[in-house]
């Protein structure tokens, strides 16, 4: 490209070279979106499939609750637990189904944000928002543990997508999508009520929203959300359970300095989850690069104020309200988890960057993005393989779930001649046995009917059970609470299991006992 000067004659401007990522963003933004999204989902699926002997966190509890097909439980609304059970069965009784389901949730979340961004800022800028989301911790390690918080991410993003379309275009199908997304979100987590309240407030406060209220479609969406949750609402009424605390404490929320500090801690925790995004912004945003530094420019049409207000409102109000409610609940993390609260962070940053975005340090920026994509799963794999050797750390994901399930199932069958129907124990011992057993027994969590309302002691006496507990001393005695509940329990010699990555850790010792089923009454002779 040449620029003519009247005094010096023709001058050559240095050719601006662009990286492959930048060229893909400009020419094929949709393809770039799918490559980034599917690459992230594939990596976080392969990590647990290839390197985890046991699922992380409360996945065994999620499956134990899902197995019962309850309309509600002490663990919240049922949808995530139902889907976990379906995925487990579709995968042939393998937890791989949950790993795949979790990443499908991530894909759906990214797609909904991309579709919303494409309608507001165009495809190229929307793809940039997705690339920024790669640097957010909420969409990486936490997604290994499928549960309500993971399922809430795509439902939140879909509700925001259909909500914008419904308010902007007023199509009936979009209002249907709003009702279904919000309904399923509340059926997943009570934190969905926060988004429902914020959406209702936005509709009532905006001129465009008030205009839509004159039509029957918004009211139909509200009716659909109520119908979706009707069975769970009936269960709540019958159970006499109220998901929210007494509102009388609301006025005293920030009376003490301790509560204010707790809220600030949650806000800082959410900001810290954006660390990777901030690094990308510093590198590609041209900090210290100078205003005249050559950089490719991505331009878009000016965004209307309504769209900006919509994105900013939900990007800021949702995490703000969720952290406030978390303080009210005395919780250490925001209600509903971090993922659903930050789905619009990337798009909000792109909106705030202006109608013309310059990408500096293309090569370094591309390497940083690849590092954020590959680095976290690589670190998880490295820690899983090395920590048992270097620090003698006993990792929960290295517990031999398959061996545990097979041993206790076979033992119960040999001793009683019956399939294993019940496992009594904690989440990370009894839950793993119940999950890995070919008989799919019920989990009597800590022998506590309040934690396992689907179980009663009478059923244990009728069907028998395997009782398991982690051994913490040389004797391997059962926990006091379990012994008090089953005073005739006779502990067996603790069973030792080798981990997949043993390292310098000791064998996994599991205490156990068999509760034999009641003898069946003799059959009545035929007359």
What is the structure's pLDDT at 332? 84
Which of 309-313, 353-357, 378-382, 474-478 is predicted with the least confidence, judged by mean pLDDT?
474-478
pLDDT above 80 (res 241)? no
What is the structure's pLDDT at 298? 84
Closest CA to 475 of 488, 490, 489, 494: 494
Closest CA to 334 of 213, 104, 96, 156: 156
What is the structure's pLDDT at 522? 47
What is the structure's pLDDT at 410? 98
Which of 83-92, 95-104, 295-304, 409-418 is predicted with the least confidence, judged by mean pLDDT?
295-304
The shares of helix, strand and coil residues in the chain, as percent rounded to the nearest 5, are 60, 5, 35
CB atoms within 10 A of CB 223: 13
Alpha carbon 4 to chain centroid distance? 57
CA angle 70, 74, 79 (to 5 degrees): 45
What is the structure's pLDDT at 252? 55
Residue 33, helix vs strand vs coil? helix
- Mean of all residue pLDDT scores within the chain: 90
Strands (E), 184-342: 297-299
Q: How confident is the model over 210-220, as pLDDT tens digits? A: 999 999 999 99
Question: Residue 523's pLDDT band (boundaries 50, 70, 90)?
Answer: very low
The more confident residue out of 260 and 391 is 391
Task: Report percent pLDDT > 90 for the chain.
Answer: 74
Closest CA to 273 of 141, 159, 384: 141
pLDDT above 50 (res 8)? no
φ/ψ (deg, to 5) at 425: 170, -175
Question: Which residue is listed with tokens 């042939």?
Answer: 92
> In terms of C-beta density within 10 A (0-12 exposed, 13-18 middle, 19 or more buried), how is residue 242 classed?
exposed
Q: How many helices (H) and strands (E) does the chain have?
A: 21, 9
What is the structure's pLDDT at 453? 94
Q: How confident is the model over 426-468, as pLDDT tens digits? A: 999 999 999 999 999 999 999 999 999 999 989 999 999 999 9
The more confident residue out of 225 and 291 is 225
What is the structure's pLDDT at 15? 53
CA angle 242, 247, 252 (to 5 degrees): 140
What is the structure's pLDDT at 330? 83
Closest CA to 310 of 134, 110, 183, 159: 159
Which of 321-325, 362-366, 419-423, 477-481 is predicted with the least confidence, judged by mean pLDDT?
362-366
What is the structure's pLDDT at 17? 62
Residues 153, 508: Cα–Cα separation, whole Å: 36
DSSP 8-state symbol, 357: E
pLDDT above 80 (res 491)? yes
pLDDT above 80 (res 240)? no
The token pair that represents 195 in the structure block = 């988004």
Q: 122, 301 in Cβ contact below 8 A?
A: yes
Question: Residue 242's pLDDT band (boundaries 50, 70, 90)?
Answer: low
Q: How confident is the model over 244-286, as pLDDT tens digits? A: 544 445 555 555 567 788 888 999 999 999 999 999 998 887 6
Q: 263, 324 in Cβ contact below 8 A?
A: yes
Residues 506, 392: Cα–Cα separation, whole Å: 9
What is the structure's pLDDT at 84? 98
CB under 8 Å to 331, separation ≥6 — which residues? none
Domain ranges of the chain: 20-379, 397-515
- The DSSP-derived string for 422-453 is EEEE-TTTHHHHHHH-TT--EEEETT-TTT-T
The token pair that represents 138 in the structure block = 């909420």
- The DSSP-derived string for 170-188 is --HHHHHHHHHHHHHHHTT
What is the structure's pLDDT at 7? 43
Question: Residue 1's pLDDT band (boundaries 50, 70, 90)?
Answer: very low
The half-sphere exposure of 62 on its side-chain side, counting CA atoms within 13 A, is 29
Question: Residue 297's pLDDT band (boundaries 50, 70, 90)?
Answer: confident
Q: How confident is the model over 122-145, as pLDDT tens digits? A: 999 999 999 999 889 899 999 999
> In terms of C-beta density within 10 A (0-12 exposed, 13-18 middle, 19 or more buried), how is residue 306 classed?
middle
Closest CA to 326 of 126, 191, 226: 191
Strands (E), 80-168: none
Question: Which residue is listed with tokens 């809430």?
Answer: 152
Q: 141, 75 in Cβ contact below 8 A?
A: no
What is the structure's pLDDT at 476? 84
What burial letters (b/e) apply to 75-95, b meaning 16+ CB within 10 Å?
Answer: bbbbbbbbbbbebbeeeeebb
Residue 493, helix vs strand vs coil? coil
* Across 288-304, average pLDDT: 77
Bridge-based pairing state of the strands 465-470 and 442-445: unpaired
Q: 426, 446 in Cβ contact below 8 A?
A: yes
Task: Report percent pLDDT > 70 for the chain.
Answer: 90
The token pair that represents 434 in the structure block = 């119940």
């Amino acid at each position: 490209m040449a620029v003519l000067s009247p005094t010096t004659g023709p001058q050559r401007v240095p050719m601006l070279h662009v990286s492959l990522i930048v060229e893909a963003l400009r020419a094929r933004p949709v393809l770039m979106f799918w490559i980034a999204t599917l690459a992230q989902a594939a990596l976080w699926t392969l990590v647990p499939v290839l390197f985890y002997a046991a699922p992380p966190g409360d996945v065994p509890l999620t499956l134990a609750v899902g197995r019962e097909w309850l309309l509600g439980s002490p663990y919240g609304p049922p949808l995530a637990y139902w889907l976990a059970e379906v995925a487990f069965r579709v995968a042939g009784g393998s937890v791989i189904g949950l790993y795949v389901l979790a990443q499908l949730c991530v894909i759906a979340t990214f797609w909904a944000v991309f579709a919303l961004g494409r309608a507001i800022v165009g495809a190229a800028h929307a793809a940039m928002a997705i690339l920024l989301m790669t640097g957010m911790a909420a969409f990486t390690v936490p997604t290994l543990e499928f549960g309500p918080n993971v399922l809430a991410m795509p439902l939140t993003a879909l509700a925001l997508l259909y909500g914008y379309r419904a308010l902007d275009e007023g199509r009936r199908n979009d209002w249907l999508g709003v009702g279904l997304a919000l309904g399923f979100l509340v059926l997943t987590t009570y934190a969905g009520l926060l988004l429902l309240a914020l959406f209702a407030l936005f509709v009532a406060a905006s001129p465009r929203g008030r205009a839509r209220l004159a039509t029957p479609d918004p009211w139909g969406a509200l009716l659909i959300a109520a119908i979706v949750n009707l069975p769970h609402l009936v269960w709540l009424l019958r159970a006499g359970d109220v998901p929210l605390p007494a509102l009388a404490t609301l006025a005293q929320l920030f009376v003490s300095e301790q509560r204010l500090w707790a809220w600030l801690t949650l806000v800082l925790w959410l900001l810290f989850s954006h660390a990777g995004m901030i690094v990308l912004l510093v590198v590609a945003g041209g900090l210290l690069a100078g205003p005249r530094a050559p950089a490719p420019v991505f331009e878009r049409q000016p965004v209307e104020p309504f769209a900006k207000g919509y994105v900013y409102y939900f990007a800021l109000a949702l995490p703000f309200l969720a952290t406030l409610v978390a303080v009210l609940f005395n919780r250490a993390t925001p209600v509903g988890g971090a993922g659903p609260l930050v789905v619009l962070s990337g798009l909000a940053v792109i909106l705030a960057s202006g109608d013309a975005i310059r990408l500096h340090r293309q090569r370094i920026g591309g390497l940083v993005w690849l590092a954020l994509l590959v680095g976290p799963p690589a670190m998880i794999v490295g820690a899983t393989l090395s920590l048992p050797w270097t620090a003698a750390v006993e990792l929960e994901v290295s517990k031999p779930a398959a061996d545990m399930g097979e041993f206790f199932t076979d033992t119960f069958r040999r001793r009683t001649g019956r399939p294993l129907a019940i496992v009594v124990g904690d989440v990370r011992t009894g839950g793993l046995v119940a999950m890995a057993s070919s008989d799919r027994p019920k989990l009597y969590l800590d022998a506590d009917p309040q934690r396992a309302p689907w179980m009663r002691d009478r059923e244990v006496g009728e069907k028998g059970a395997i009782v398991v507990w982690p051994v913490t001393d040389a004797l391997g005695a059962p926990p006091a609470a379990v012994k008090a509940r089953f005073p005739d329990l006779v502990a067996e010699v603790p069973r030792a299991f080798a981990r997949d990555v043993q390292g310098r850790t000791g064998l996994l010792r599991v205490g156990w006992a068999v509760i034999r089923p009641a003898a069946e009454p003799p059959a009545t002779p035929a007359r």
